[in-house]
Amino acid sequence: MTSDFKPALIVVDLQEDFCPPSGSLAVPGGRNVVAPINKLLELPFALKVATKDWHPPDHISFAANHPGKQPYTDFVTIVNPDNATESYSSRLWPVHCVQGTPGAELLPELDAGKLDEIIEKGTDRRVEMYSPFYDPFTSPRVSDSGLATLLRDRGVTDVYVVGLAGDYCVKSCAEDAAKEGFRTYLIEECTRAVDAGHWPQCKKAIEGSGAKVVSVKSPEVLRLM
């Protein structure tokens, strides 16, 4: 492979709580992405990273931490703890991926022995963080996982994104990777959405950020074989 092509694979949040049969925030068909992702892990990526949603029990995104609010239906306004003029509205979720619990484990059928790094995200109780890079605030940023620095330090040029959930963390990962200047590909067969009906709209937003949504049979993937 030429030096102007150093591909990284980012496997987003392939954790028990995002999968049937017992995940608290199970994404329909979530487990079906493991087999094609294990095939990708055989390919000569320069760097293979998995991310884990890794929340403290009092995380702001859990409906249970907001009396009277219901998961999937209610939203809260999240204010930047360091700059009250910045805020965003964010969906509330069932309790999921609490640090150290079985639901936060990577799926056992994932070929985790092939991973080079595991990045934890969503660790600051005060902010939602779908992106494995950083939270949505900018001045100042509240939480940064160090992923952009890791990719740059390793000389990565191209980022391939897969995992769960397509319409939340995978989408944010692809958008931020493109924003950080990496050629970015989201491999469509290797993700599933929380709301499958919103996926076409999500794809447009992802492509609008400069990332490409591709198939496992696309030239962008085949060039790795």
Residues in contact with Zn ion by CB under 5 A are 53
Binding test (CB under 6 A) with ligand VGL, winner from 14, 107, 147, 169 = 169
Contact string (CB under 6 A) for ligand VGL, positions 42-81, x = contact: -----------x-------x--------------------
**Shortest Å distance, C-beta 117 to Zn ion:** 20
Pairing of strands 47-53, 7-12: parallel
Q: Are 96 and 55 in contact (CB under 8 A)?
A: yes
160 binds ligand VGL (CB under 6 A): no
What would the two tokens of residue 25 be?
């925030």
CA distance 150 to 48: 11
Binding test (CB under 6 A) with ligand VGL, winner from 165, 186, 206, 211 = 165
- Give the count of beta carbons closer than 10 Å to the beta carbon of residue 205: 14
Q: 15, 52, 11: which is closest to 30 by C-alpha?
A: 15
Binding test (CB under 6 A) with ligand VGL, winner from 98, 162, 164, 206 = 164
124 is catalytic: no
- Give the count of beta carbons closer than 10 Å to the beta carbon of residue 64: 15
DSSP string covering 167-181 = TTHHHHHHHHHHHTT
**Shortest Å distance, C-beta 128 to ligand VGL:** 7
169 is catalytic: yes
**Shortest Å distance, C-beta 27 to ligand VGL:** 8
Binding test (CB under 6 A) with ligand VGL, winner from 45, 93, 134, 137 = 93
Q: How far, in Å, are 7, 142, 175 from residue 129 at the CA level?
A: 24, 10, 13
C-beta of 127 vs 148, nearer to ligand VGL: 127
97 is catalytic: no
Catalytically annotated residue among 48, 121, 171, 203: 121
**Shortest Å distance, C-beta 37 to ligand VGL:** 14
**Shortest Å distance, C-beta 179 to ligand VGL:** 18
Helix (H, G, I), strand (E, B) or coil at 63: helix
Give the alpha-carbon dihedral of 87, 26, 177, 223, to 10 degrees.
-170
C-beta of 93 vs 133, nearer to ligand VGL: 93
**125: exposed, middle or buried (Cβ count in 10 Å: 0-12, 13-18, 19+):** middle
Count of CA atoms in the C-beta half-sphere (13 A) of 105: 8
Binding site for ligand VGL (CB under 6 A): 13, 18, 53, 61, 93, 130, 164-165, 168-169
* Active site amino acids: 13, 121, 169
